[in-house]
Structure 1
């Protein structure tokens, strides 16, 4: 009696592997750009949300709330490079109280702010440091997105493609 064997021949298996390799070669670069785009959008939204949080806390506490580039557990960096993260802290009669921290962003990305510190007053206005915070994935200016903080305290998404230099 003749037995029916289930399975693949070596030729069928090699053709399948070759087709899969070709599809992966074509598809992986586009997946990388999609991943970068999603990463940029998520991190710009984080920056926008932490600025809105800082402004709301300043109004709620009736005190000055500062937002600055993260340098160490207790201090801010005196730089406009915000790539190491963002620190939000309350300044009142008792001293400084940390409210929220965003850890560093992706090591390939660059985050640049117009100022080294943003200070929200009790009225929600910015007393120091208004301007853009620009997020550049892989330090590529063409794909950058930004958040703008105006002196009136308005926090909005700004134009894309600004320079991170």
Structure 2
């Protein structure tokens, strides 16, 4: 009587079917993952800037003084995407210049906005009054964050200082 011998392992057909299924799953999953990463970067940049602006408004009310948020880090050109420095502004109208002798620095915040452009109608700075109101000439102050896919978010600050985030409809 013959005994059946079983071999352990995969047949060539089983291996090929597995590779085809894996290739199909990767072709569907990898682009979705890349898209998710891009969405996450845009959302993180938007939340970082919105949180910094909300902190500035909160500090203005709690300290009962004008708080200015200036684009760029100290000594840098005014670039909102690089970061901001936030300070108590001794000038009642708020201004773009940080004077170490009279203005009290509250916080420097660096942003990681790789591949994201940020355009603002607020110029180099935006200020909040001691009541949390927007002290700028523009109303609303807007910050448009866009990525390479022309996807984006819009941060708006209305005259009463309310900060809102919405999808940006027209990214370049």
TM-score, normalised to structure 1, is: 0.79
Alignment partner, residue 49 of structure 1: 51
Alignment partner, residue 34 of structure 1: 36
- For structure 1, the residue ranges without an aligned partner over 5 or more in a row are none
Please state if 1:102 is matched with 2:104: no
Structural RMSD (CA): 2.5
Relative to structure 1, is the Cα distance of residues 147 and 19 closer, same or farther in structure 2, using a 3 angstrom cutoff? same
Alignment partner, residue 88 of structure 1: 86
Q: Secondary structure at the match of 1:51?
A: helix
The structure 2 residue matched to 1:63, chosen from 54, 65, 71, is 65
The answer to whether the 8 Å contact 1:70/1:86 transfers is yes
Pick the structure with more helix per residue.
1
Q: Deviations over 1:53-105 (max 9, x none)?
A: 1001011112221112223xx34633xx4221232222349533332333233
Relative to structure 1, is the Cα distance of residues 88 and 66 closer, same or farther in structure 2, using a 3 angstrom cutoff? same
- For structure 2, the residue ranges without an aligned partner over 5 or more in a row are 92-100
The answer to whether the 8 Å contact 2:120/2:144 transfers is yes
Alignment partner, residue 121 of structure 1: 129
Structure showing greater radius of gyration is 2
The count of corresponding residues between Structure 1 and Structure 2 is: 158
Q: Secondary structure at the match of 2:82?
A: coil
TM-score, normalised to structure 2, is: 0.76
Moved segments of 4+, more than 6 Å = none
Alignment partner, residue 156 of structure 1: 164
Q: 1:85, 1:17 → 2: CA distance?
A: 46
Q: 2:48, 2:22 → 1: CA distance?
A: 37
Relative to structure 1, is the Cα distance of residues 133 and 77 closer, same or farther in structure 2, using a 3 angstrom cutoff? same
Q: CA deviation at 1:44?
A: 1.6
Relative to structure 1, is the Cα distance of residues 129 and 66 closer, same or farther in structure 2, using a 3 angstrom cutoff? farther
